[in-house]
Amino acid sequence: MRPSHRDTQRHPHGGDFAGWDGASGGGRRGGGRLLGHGDLKLLLLALIAEQPRHGYELIRLIARMFHGRYTPSPGVIYPSLTLLEELGHIQVEQEGSRKLYAMTAPGRAFLADNRDAVEAMTLRTRHAARTAAKMALPPAVREAMHAVKHALLTRGDTWNAAEARRVAALLEHAAQAIASPSDD
């Protein structure tokens, strides 16, 4: 079942891409394609629909979404923006020497008419971003996470209320300890 638009996580500026904070970085590292065919154009449109943006701002925002595991190059971003402008979906406003890309009414109509495709892209992109975040973790941490998951899943249906509370307390304590800065 596809989540409704209001059920998707929202960006602080009112968009669909909240909670994708992460360290910015450069270049693509690791294997696999992070964005499907046409996803970058839809992603750019959705981000520009949130608010007008500069090209390099879009590059940095996408890099943060993917925790530095994927950074689109200017050679990919700017031709995509030019295509979106030629299609009439965005317009360019000059801000000094920089270009600011803003949505047009036809661009908003295109997003509305293609909401299913935008939602599918959003889900694929979120999944790819989560995968990128996992890959950014040190191998020892990923292995420990796998060990905890394995221990939980191998318990099967042997849970009683007291054991569930005990394990939940252990996990809560571990989460709090991990979130707290180290004194080292």
Number of domains making up the chain? 2
Residues 79, 115, single domain; the answer is yes
d(CA 133, CA 70): 11
Q: Both 44 and 83 in a single domain? A: yes
Residue 129 one-letter amino acid: A
Does 37 share its domain with 122? yes
Query: Which of 136, 152, 169 represents a domain boundary (last residue)?
Result: 136
Please report which confidence band the pLDDT of residue 46 belongs to, taking 50, 70 and 90 as the band edges. Answer: very high
16 and 63 both lie in a single domain: yes
pLDDT score recorded for residue 109? 96
State residue 125's pLDDT score: 81
pLDDT (mean) for 12-26: 36
**How high is the pLDDT of residue 9?**
36
Residue 184 lies in a domain: no
Q: Is the pLDDT of residue 26 over 90?
A: no
Domain range for 28: 5-136
Q: How far apart are CA 168 and CA 181, in angstroms?
A: 22
CATH number at residue 39: 1.10.10.10
Between CA 7 and CA 118 the distance in angstroms is 14
What is the strand order of the sheet 98-103 is part of? 53-54, 98-103, 90-95
| pLDDT tier at 167, thresholds 50, 70, 90 | very high
Question: pLDDT at position 36, please?
Answer: 67
As a whole number, mean pLDDT of residues 36-63 equals 91
